[in-house]
Amino acid sequence: MSMLRFGEALNAESNDVMGGRAKRVLVAYSMGGRLALHALARADAPWDAAVIVSAHPGLEDADERRARLALDGGWATKAFGGDWQKFLEEWNAQPVLVGQPPRDADASARLVTRRREIARSFVDWSLGAQEPMWGELGRIKIPVLWVVGERDEKFHGLGQRAVSIMPQARLAVAPGAGHRVPWDCGEWFAARVAEFIRASVN
């Protein structure tokens, strides 16, 4: 499924499940945030507000996209056929994942049972496979809380640019956090999301 089709399917599923009974807030992290943007930018998007965490709206240079596809192909190979613990260690050692890895190490280890799906996600949902969304962000008219970690300099910059394009977006910077804001700064994150939802959809 393409990312565009994913956005269409996500919106349709939300309508099927929720109908008109409740306010809808889409909360998405990292790769999920990228996928969420495809749903939010559609004219038929049913969402009332959104929280986007540590997401990349897309690489604008074709050579960068090709290089990222090759890189993610390598990660897919490691995830599917390599030593699982070594894969996790290498993944968590990436510069972008500064700070502590997710606290539930046992849950990460148990994901080995889904290694085929994880490997497939590196290919299907690669940042290199995504058409850049920068030109589409202005279509997102609902309130958006874009969250980044204070120490995640690259994504801090991406977030600043993204919120400058969307009419009702604002940036929230998690103090002392890296890329994994919900794990690095969980109480702060929960409080900011709750405040945003109260202010945006009540």
Q: HSE-up of 25 (CA within 13 Å, CB side)? A: 17
Please report, to the nearest 10 degrees, the dihedral formed by the alpha carbons of residues 149, 151, 153, 158 taken in order.
0
pLDDT bin (cut points 50, 70, 90) of residue 138 is very high
pLDDT score of 97: 84
pLDDT bin (cut points 50, 70, 90) of residue 9 is low
Q: Does the structure show a pLDDT above 80 at 74? A: yes
State whether residue 169 is helix, strand or coil: strand
pLDDT bin (cut points 50, 70, 90) of residue 12 is confident
Can you count the helices (H) and strands (E) in the chain?
Answer: 9, 4
- Whole-prediction pTM: 0.89
pLDDT bin (cut points 50, 70, 90) of residue 202 is confident
pLDDT bin (cut points 50, 70, 90) of residue 18 is low
Pull the structure tokens for residue 130.
């995504």
Question: In the chain, what percentage of residues exceed pLDDT 90?
Answer: 73
Name all domains of the chain by residue range, CATH numbers in brackets: 3-58+132-201 (3.40.50.1820), 62-127 (no CATH)
**For residue range 89-128, what is the model confidence (pLDDT) as tens digits?**
899 888 888 666 666 667 777 888 999 999 999 999 999 9
Average pLDDT of span 64-93? 94
In this predicted structure, which of 18-27, 61-70, 150-159 has the lowest mean pLDDT? Answer: 18-27
